[in-house]
Amino acid sequence: MHSILRQLLNEVGIRDVQDAYNGYEAIEALSNGENYRPDVIICDLHMEKMDGMEFANQLRRRKDMTPILMLTGETNDLVLDVSLQVGVNKILKKPISAKALYAEICEAVGFEP
C-alpha cells in the first residue's frame, strides 16, 4: 500500500512524503521532538500493531490537529462512524485515483488547486 500511495502522490507532484508502517511508528515519528510537522496525514484503517482508529485517537488526545485522511475498503458503518468520532477528518474509499486523492488533500489543508 505504501508504494501505491507514494506513486499516486508522485503522479500529482507531491514528493515530500514521510512513511510509517504502522500507527506506533507514526506516533513515534510525530513525537520525537524533530521540527517536522506534516500538512496532512494519510493512514489506513487496518494497520498492524495499531489501527487507524487508535492512531487517530492517540493523536487527538495529544492535541495534534493535523488533518487525517483515512483510506479504507471497510464497509461497516459503525467502524467508519467511530473513526470519524475519534478524530479522522475524512474517510476515503479504496481504490482512489491520484486526481481524487490530490483533491482530498487540497481540501484538507485548505489549498485551492
Is 106's pLDDT higher than 90?
yes
Q: Does domain 2-109 have CATH number 3.30.590.20?
A: no
Residues whose CB falls within 8 Å of the CB of residue 29, separated by 6 or more in sequence, listed in order? 18, 20, 36
Tell me the whole-structure pTM to 2 decimals.
0.91
- Rg of the chain in Å (alpha carbons): 13
Domain boundaries, the chain: 2-109
pLDDT of amino acid 14: 87
pLDDT in tens, 32-91: 766 678 999 999 999 989 999 999 999 999 999 999 999 999 999 999 999 999 999 999
Predicted confidence band of residue 18 (pLDDT cuts 50, 70, 90): confident
Residues whose CB falls within 8 Å of the CB of residue 100, separated by 6 or more in sequence, listed in order? 92
Q: What are phi and psi of 49, to 5 degrees?
A: 70, -45
Is 92's pLDDT higher than 90?
yes
pLDDT in tens, 62-74: 999 999 999 999 9
Q: How far is it, in rounded angstroms, from Cα 89 to Cα 48? A: 21
pLDDT of amino acid 13: 87
